[in-house]
Structure formats: structure tokens, C-alpha cells
Amino acid sequence: MKRYISLSLFLFSAIIAWWTITDDYNDGENLQQPKNKEFVEIFMNEFEMTAMDDSGKPSYIMNGSHLQRFNDSDKTEIQQPIFHLLQTQNQWVISADTATINDNEETIQLNNNVVMQQKNIEPSITIRTQNLLIHTKTQIAQTKAVVDITQGNSHLNSTGMIFNNITSALELSTKVNGYYLPYE
């Protein structure tokens, strides 16, 4: 009788152990992280990246203090970006507090304390605003926010603008005021 009870307890323990092992094994099959959990896929500190145009020439250079991209996003977030547009005649340096690069739409959204300053010209043109969307393929910069434009002693304000870096066309949207003084 003791033998049957011992054998029964042994079989019962073996079945319980086998069941718990196979149950844990099935739950632990996913060694990769779940796809719905967000995590930083890539990050860099103090970086510089160069984007080429279709002909293989540098189109723009982006520097920043921190870059990060999440696994479930097409957007890359940048802290303290400095963006250099490298057209032959129209070179600009644009800085901001933050930026978001959208790979699908080929845009860069610059936010907070945006300063856009033209190079290769004296006196230089400086445009200040709180946000600016740049289409990297067409090199069109636009905003619906208030813009403050200075060149030498000239000063213009507007609510919204569209600037085409390839053609140098600047369109001021609404509430335009200020003064333009020719320089010598």
C-alpha cells in the first residue's frame, strides 16, 4: 500500500512538474521584445550628418547635441539642431531648440527659437520665428507663425511665410509691416 501511495505521489509530482515546465516554455518563446512596446532604436550625441542630393552633391548638413529615433516611428528627434542648406548661391544656417525629421515626408520641423541666417551676403538676412517646416527635396521653408526679418537697418514682420531657397522667392503671408532701407 505504501508503494502505491509513493508511486501515485511520484507520478502526480512528475505530471505537475512537466506541466509547469511546458507552460513556462511556451510563455518564454518570445525572446524578442513585443512589437507594441516603444523603445529607442538609435541615438547619438554630438553628431553631424550630411544628406546628398540626387546628383551626389551635399544638399544639407545637420549637427546637433542629441539624436534619437524610436522603433515604431518614422520620425527622428533632435536636440539643439544646426541645419546648413548648401545651395551654391543661397547658403543658410538654421538653428533651433528642437527638430523632428520625418523620413516619409522628407521634412524637417524646427521648433522654438528658430533663427535662419543667410551666408555669402552682406549685410546678411536673419529670419526669426518659433517654428519652421523645411521640405528637404524642394528646399522650401514655411511657417504660419510670426516671423521677424532683418537685413542691415531694414526690418519686416509678418504672420507666416514661404521661402524657396532654390529661387530665392520669399512670400510673406499676412499682417506684413515694417520698413526697408536700401544699403550701400
Query: Which pLDDT tens digits describe the chain residue by residue (184 residues)?
Result: 666 677 677 777 777 777 777 654 444 555 555 556 777 788 889 989 888 878 888 888 889 999 888 887 888 899 999 988 877 677 889 999 999 989 888 899 999 999 999 888 888 889 999 999 999 888 899 999 999 999 888 899 999 999 988 888 889 888 889 887 776 6
C-alpha cell at 157: 514682420
pLDDT of 34 reads 54
Nearest to 79 by CA among 95, 94, 93, 91: 95
pLDDT of 153 reads 86
Look up residue 158 and give its amino acid.
Answer: S
What span, in angstroms and rounded, lies between the C-alpha atoms of 117 and 14?
76
In the DSSP assignment, the letter for residue 123 is S
pLDDT tens, position by position, 77-130: 999 999 888 776 778 899 999 999 898 888 999 999 999 998 888 888 899 999
Contact (CB, 8 A) for 162 and 132: no
pLDDT of 29 reads 53
